Amino acid sequence: MAVAVTMASQNGAKSLAAPTAGNAGAALSAYGARAGLPVFIAMPQDTPKSIVDECRSYGAEVELVAGLITDAGKRVQQYIAANGGFDLSTLKEPYRVEGKKIMGYELLEDLGRLPDVILYPTGGGTGLIGMWKAFSEMQRLGWIGSERPRMYSVQSSGCAPIVRAFEQQLDRAPEWENAQTSAWGLRVPRAIGDRLMLRALRESNGGAVAVDERSIEKAASEVRKHEGIDAGPEAGAAFLALRRLIEKGEIGENEIVVLFNTGGNKYHS
Ligand SMILES: Cc1ncc(COP(=O)(O)O)c(C=O)c1O
């Protein structure tokens, strides 16, 4: 979001707006404040209160919407039509994805190579798409060769549009009806970047895994207790996916696997 807000500001935006499932809104609020630009955010009314408070603490105008991020998206369009403002919705401008490329750079920096497998808790998909873009640019820069991690999208059984589309060999992911998951970062029933995500999963020889919604919190708690990191439900989902893929023999014993913990537990209240 830092890159996106900086570019919007440099290109003359006078105010910023976006729908969010949570985290992106908090980041936008913070960077908007830093850039001195007013921020409008719409989010589902049951987004954790800590996130709502965090956005407001940075001075953002937050509106809670009945429904999901797709409904929040409609509200943002109305708001912009009436009040103006630059639209920072996922993949509606080019720079959020540029910022997410850093996850790809950091993998190489930290490991000295790319991992064999990436398990990414997927909502709108900017993370997956950004890393995939980073890898091909890193190859053009001569930093890596043609090797790629196998990329897996992880979703919850309560909202798994990308997994379903992957399994049905579709190019686009139809909207998931009645999306429900405690992993609020993953509660994205329709993703504008569906085509790009599905292509990256297939080109990487990876896949997509929907984990049992009822097991997510217990798995996140296991990660916290064993690893001492603030694992949110999304990390719990990634951990369940790891177990499943090992059981199925899709991940081997000696492979380097990276699980993304996209949101901390302390925000989950
Ligand atoms: C906690 C959390 N996890 C995962 C995601 C999904 O990230 P992406 O949009 O890169 O799929 C989000 C996005 O809002 C999030 O807030």
Residue 206: which CATH number? 3.40.50.1100
Residue 127 Cβ < 6 Å to ligand 1: yes
Domain range enclosing 70: 2-87
Residue 253 lies inside a defined structural domain of this protein: yes
Ligand 1 centroid to residue 22 C-alpha, Å: 8
Q: Do 49 and 145 belong to one domain?
A: no
Give tens-digit pLDDT for 134-172: 999 999 999 999 999 999 999 999 999 999 999 999 999
Asked if residue 269 has pLDDT above 70, the reply is: no
248 shares a domain with 121: yes
| Residue 2 buriedness (CB in 10 A; 0-12 / 13-18 / 19+) | middle
Give the model's pLDDT for residue 263. 86
**Count of Cβ atoms closer than 10 Å to residue 62 Cβ:** 20
Reported pTM? 0.94
**Binding site membership of 194 for ligand 1 (Cβ less than 6 Å):** no
Give the end of a domain, one of 87, 117, 149: 87
Q: Is the pLDDT confidence value at 202 over 80? A: yes
Whether the CB of 123 sits within 6 Å of ligand 1: yes
Residues 213 and 102 reside in one and the same domain: yes
Q: Which of 91, 133, 262, 266 to mutate to test the pocket of ligand 1 (most atoms within 8 A of CB)?
A: 262
- Tally of domains in the chain: 2
pLDDT score for 21: 84
Is there a single domain that holds both residue 65 and residue 168?
no
**Residues 66, 120 share a domain:** no
Over 80: is that where the pLDDT of 9 sits? Answer: yes
- Give burial (CB, 10 Å; 0-12/13-18/19+) of 100: buried
- Domain co-membership, 114 together with 209: yes
Both 130 and 219 in one domain: the answer is: yes
Residues 6+ positions from 128 with CB-CB distance below 8 Å: 120, 122, 151, 153, 197, 200, 201
Q: What is the pLDDT of residue 119?
A: 98
CA of 20 to the centre of ligand 1 (A): 9
User: What is the tens place of the pLDDT at every residue in 75-119?
Assistant: 999 999 999 999 999 999 999 999 999 999 999 999 999 999 999
Q: Whose CA is nearest to atom 3 of ligand 1?
A: 185
Within a domain: 92: no
- Asked whether residue 153 is domain-assigned, the answer is yes
pLDDT for the residue 264: 85
- 164 and 83 assigned to the same domain: no
Q: How far apart, in whole angstroms, are the C-alpha atoms of residue 155 and residue 144?
A: 29
> What pLDDT, on the 0 to 100 scale, is given for residue 268?
59
Alpha carbon nearest to ligand 1 atom 16, residue: 185
Q: In the listed set 87, 107, 132, which residue is the last one of a domain according to the structure?
A: 87
**129 and 250 assigned to the same domain:** yes
- Structure confidence by residue, pLDDT tens digits, 214-268: 999 999 999 999 999 999 999 999 999 999 999 999 999 999 999 999 988 876 5
pLDDT over 90 at 22, yes or no: no
Residues 183 and 72 in one domain: no
pLDDT digits (tens, 9 = 90+) for 45-80: 999 899 999 999 999 999 999 999 999 999 999 999
